[in-house]
Amino acid sequence: MGLRRLWISATTADPLERATKLADLGDGSIAAIIHAAGVASNNNIVAMGQAARRERATTPRFDYGDFANLLAKLDRQRVMSELLKQFRSEKTHLNALNLLVRLNEPLCVDPMIDDLGGRWRGSAISVLGAVADRRAVDPLIRLLGSTDRVYEREDICKALGAIGDRRAVPALIDALQRSHEPRRDDQLLWTIRQAAAEALGKIGDRAAVAPLIEACHWPEPPLDQRNAGASEFARFHAAAIRALERLGDPAAVPVLIDTLWREGQKYPIGEPLLRDSRRCAAAALGKLGDTSAIEPLLKAAANRFMHKQTIDALAQFDDSRARETVAAAARDRETCFICGRSGGKALLPRASADQKQRAGGDAVVASMLAFVEGIESGTAGTSTCINCGRWACTACIDSNATFVDCPSCDLPIRR
């Protein structure tokens, strides 16, 4: 058996193919399969560097999940024993970590909890979040309250959100609020707040509604895209709004409306850094169905960056003004905004004079020629605005330029 493994390792170049053959030999090949995963990872890193330098056109497909699937077919105890040994080794730690994350094996929970007090606790937090076993909740809560490392606190919040146990809600609310006071490293603390807000949304406990509403009222830093702290704040604010959407509590309606639209607001509705928050607020208001949101949604629908999200939200209301706005948007999406043709016809380019002549005057044959040659040349079909859903025939775009501006959003639509 040992000679067989050596022969496979020596004669099979592709690491995944080698690991697949080794897996057929049984549990004695566990270490060799783990090694093959590390080789594949290193090869992929080298290939990506070559691709970045344009020394090669493509990179080979690589996924640790393929190797984890092979290990999952072997003896669980022996696989865990070997992976934990390599996890605690400097040389093989990262390779073992990636396999443990993808194996999702409950046998590793207790050893990872033990490692929360050791050198590899950052990696142990990641594994516990991936396995999402409730045994890890209390140890993670204790570590969240004791560690002052920003990235560890962020990863613990993510892990607790993945586990989804309500016991973590008070600790996550504390992480959300305890990080509120400005500090010299305030930019990093926004990442903890974001992770805590996302976790509270995933767990879905209504006790989080009031703290999240309060957090949405925190004063924002100067929203300058060159300010990294402003970007972190914007991501946190969008996460808090998404969490309120998941929780679906009517008490959130005022803050959602305030986020979407208010008279005399400090930043315009199209402000890039707040765009995600406002789009999430529109979606949440549509889901909640409170009629007090109709007027703000109608105002926001006029903004080119908010058009699609507000129209989708207004479609949830049984209101005459909302229905008219939604119907007008639907009519706009039914036809090419350049030539006015409907969607079915727009998929076919118009037959040219040459195609009509070659078809001998037969309109059906001419249309088929136009379709086949349009597919070959890339002129058949449509191109859609990613923001509002309006579209134009590819042929119409080609007749104007390589792109046209959407009449609703002023964003370029390319063929």
Q: 284 exposed, middle or buried (CB, 10 Å; 0-12, 13-18, 19+)?
A: buried
The number of C-alpha atoms within 13 Å of 253 and in the hemisphere containing its C-beta is 14
Paired with 413 in beta bridges are 404
Each residue's pLDDT tens digit, 52-70? 676 665 666 788 989 999 9
CB-CB neighbours of 362 under 10 Å: 12
Per CATH, which fold does 248-332 belong to?
A: Leucine-rich Repeat Variant (1.25.10)
Question: Could you give the CA distance from residue 21 to residue 12 in angstroms, rounded to a whole number?
Answer: 9
Give dist(CA 380, CA 367) in Å, integer: 11
> What local confidence, expressed as pLDDT, does residue 184 receive?
39
CA–CA gap between residue 74 and residue 23 (Å, rounded): 8
Q: Give tens-digit pLDDT for 191-211.
A: 899 999 999 999 999 999 999
- The segments of the chain whose pLDDT lies below 70 read 1-12, 51-52, 54-60, 179-187, 221-228, 262-271, 332-334, 336-351, 364, 367-383, 385-392, 394-395, 397-403, 407-411, 413-415
Same fold, 111-247 and 248-332: yes
At the second CATH level, the architecture of 111-247 is Alpha Horseshoe (1.25)
Record the tokens describing residue 321, joined without a space. 């003004």
- pLDDT of 150 reads 86
pLDDT recorded at residue 180: 45
Contacts of 298 (CB under 8 A, 6+ apart): 310, 314, 321, 322, 325
The residue type found at 163 is I
Structural domain boundaries in the chain: 1-103, 111-247, 248-332, 343-414
Tokens 């592709």 belong to which residue? 14
Strands 382-384 and 403-405: unpaired
How confident is the model at residue 118, as a pLDDT? 85
